[in-house]
């Protein structure tokens, strides 16, 4: 499948690499067509990897991963273009972290709204699925690196889109447990977890952890 | 040990009952000395159980459990009296849930402050330890009812107070895993979890669940 990965940071890099390894054709999108980080990635990722502008990538992708910094996500997607996102799944792994007041970060949207919902509102003809944002990118694409069962969340308003993303997460990325939080308002909770995640990273001294829901 | 439990709801009832079963002498505090719910509890809980006003209870307790509704916690503790809380541990299990706009609830304090911190600020000579607020009260006092390992959090500014509460949680309530989030700003994260908890209760169809942190 042709997949766009928006963002050239470590999250975009890690996800784009995994998708190529899974046999997908991936275009990494960034603000400029010749972004250096994307060019470096293309060189190592093989013949199914290419780069382009946000717009180039979104146009070519059947699915679009938003791996941009949360603060820039709406601008990046505007740059990708509503016409290139129409009818497509946007897998939103971003977080609305606000570092403007230093550490620990705050959130620039929360409780009654979320970045995932803001993206859906800005691109009503796309199908936003929020997922993976609650773990470090190494865990995103290699969940078995943790010792024991643990859970990933999804939320979104389009059931078909969620089913397709869940299939990619399980068969592709290797997730055994995917908890469906329902409609995209679930993104509020997925994003709020990040503040606890940052706290726990400090306690554990490592970003390699995740939560598992235990039932009675 | 003499322990005060402020609050006559299901949380106060469950915790007070457990504490009596553990051999402690418990006074349940409420707005009035002859509260009917407290009287009913005293009748069934045995000779180590008594009731009184918030002030009566706090005066007699060496440790004070705040099991009041979050929206009323500060008022209840004011009623208990700063002089009766001075130097004592306040185990704060409350949540700042705001149901004023219906379901799902919001929080009346979050991100940059927490109810735990507001209580500490209002009673600077008490030692607030935030804990147990992330689970249903049945799980609070009987963690082994869930299938598998799972975690409780503590936060607080006084290390000695946290040590004492952790001992009660492990040896008394049966918690195997208690994660220390550090100082009382950790209460922000413990309290924010409640919104996800409410969402997950809807997904799972039961309040009997908890999270477990899985590491690499």
Quick one: pLDDT at residue A25? 98
DSSP class of residue A148 equals: S
The Cα A60–Cα A29 span in angstroms is 10
CB atoms within 10 A of CB B108: 15
Q: Who contacts A43 (Cβ-Cβ below 8 Å, separation ≥6)?
A: none
Mean pLDDT of chain B: 97
The predicted-structure confidence for A79-105, as pLDDT tens digits, reads as follows: 999 999 999 999 999 999 999 999 899
- The nearest alpha carbon in chain A to B179 belongs to A203
Mean pLDDT, residues A182-195: 98
Q: How confident is the model at residue A197 (pLDDT cuts 50, 70, 90)?
A: very high
Is B195 in Cβ contact with A209 (below 8 Å)? no
Buried b / exposed e over A149-187, threshold 16 CB at 10 Å, is ebbbbbbbbbeebbebbbebbeebbebeebebbeebbbb
The predicted-structure confidence for B40-99, as pLDDT tens digits, reads as follows: 999 999 999 999 999 999 999 999 999 999 999 999 999 999 999 999 999 999 999 999
Q: Which residues of A touch B187 (CB under 8 A)?
A: none
Kindly report the backbone phi and psi dihedral angles of residue B147, in degrees, each rounded to the nearest multiple of 5, phi listed first: -95, 95
The Cα A157–Cα A147 span in angstroms is 32
Q: Which residues of A touch B209 (CB under 8 A)?
A: 213-216
The Cα A107–Cα A96 span in angstroms is 5
Is it true that domain A2-204 has CATH number 3.40.50.720? yes
Mean pLDDT, residues A3-22: 98
Q: How confident is the model at residue B105 (pLDDT cuts 50, 70, 90)?
A: very high
Mean pLDDT, residues B125-142: 98
- Determine the distance from the C-alpha atom of residue A49 to the mean position of all C-alpha atoms in its chain, rounded to a whole number: 18
Chain B residues in contact with chain A using a Cβ-Cβ cutoff of 8 Å: 106-107, 110-112, 139, 145-150, 179-182, 186, 188-189, 192-193, 195-196, 199-200, 202-204, 206, 208-216
The predicted-structure confidence for A99-125, as pLDDT tens digits, reads as follows: 999 989 999 999 999 999 999 999 999
What is the length of chain A?
216
The Cα A30–Cα A37 span in angstroms is 9
Percent of chain A with pLDDT over 90: 98
Quick one: pLDDT at residue B81? 98
Q: How confident is the model at residue A30 (pLDDT cuts 50, 70, 90)?
A: very high
Class of residue B47 by CB neighbours under 10 A (exposed 0-12, middle 13-18, buried 19+) = exposed
Mean pLDDT of chain A: 97
Quick one: pLDDT at residue A152? 98
Q: Who contacts B73 (Cβ-Cβ below 8 Å, separation ≥6)?
A: B66, B92, B94, B115, B119
DSSP class of residue B144 equals: G
Every domain of chain B and the residues it spans: 2-204
Quick one: pLDDT at residue A88? 98
The predicted-structure confidence for A206-216, as pLDDT tens digits, reads as follows: 999 999 999 99
User: Closest Cα of chain A to B181: distance in Å?
Assistant: 7
Q: Which residues of A touch B204 (CB under 8 A)?
A: 213, 215
Token readout for A143 is 């969940």
Q: Which residues of A touch B214 (CB under 8 A)?
A: 146-150, 209-212
Quick one: pLDDT at residue B98? 96
Quick one: pLDDT at residue B132? 98
Mean pLDDT, residues B167-178: 98
Token readout for B12 is 């106060």
């Amino acid at each position: 499948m042709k997949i766009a990965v928006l963002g050239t940071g470590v999250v975009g890099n890690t996800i784009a690499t995994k998708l190529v390894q899974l046999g997908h054709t991936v275009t990494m999108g960034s603000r400029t067509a010749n972004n250096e980080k994307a060019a470096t990635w293309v060189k190592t990722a093989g013949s199914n990897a290419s780069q382009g502008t946000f717009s180039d990538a979104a146009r070519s992708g059947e699915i679009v991963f938003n791996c941009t910094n949360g603060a820039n996500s709406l601008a990046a997607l505007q740059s990708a273009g509503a016409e290139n996102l129409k009818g497509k799944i946007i897998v939103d792994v971003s977080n609305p972290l606000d570092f403007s007041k230093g550490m620990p970060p705050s959130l620039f949207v929360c409780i009654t709204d979320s970045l995932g919902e803001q993206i859906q509102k800005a691109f009503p003809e796309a199908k936003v699925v929020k997922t993976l944002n609650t773990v470090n990118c190494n865990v995103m694409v290699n969940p078995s690196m943790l010792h024991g069962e643990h859970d990933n969340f999804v939320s979104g308003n389009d059931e078909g889109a969620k089913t397709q993303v869940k299939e990619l997460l399980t068969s592709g990325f290797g997730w055994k447990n995917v908890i469906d939080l329902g409609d995209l308002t679930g993104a509020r909770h997925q994003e709020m977890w990040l503040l606890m995640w940052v706290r726990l990273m400090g306690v554990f001294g490592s970003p390699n952890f995740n939560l598992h829901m235990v039932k009675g």
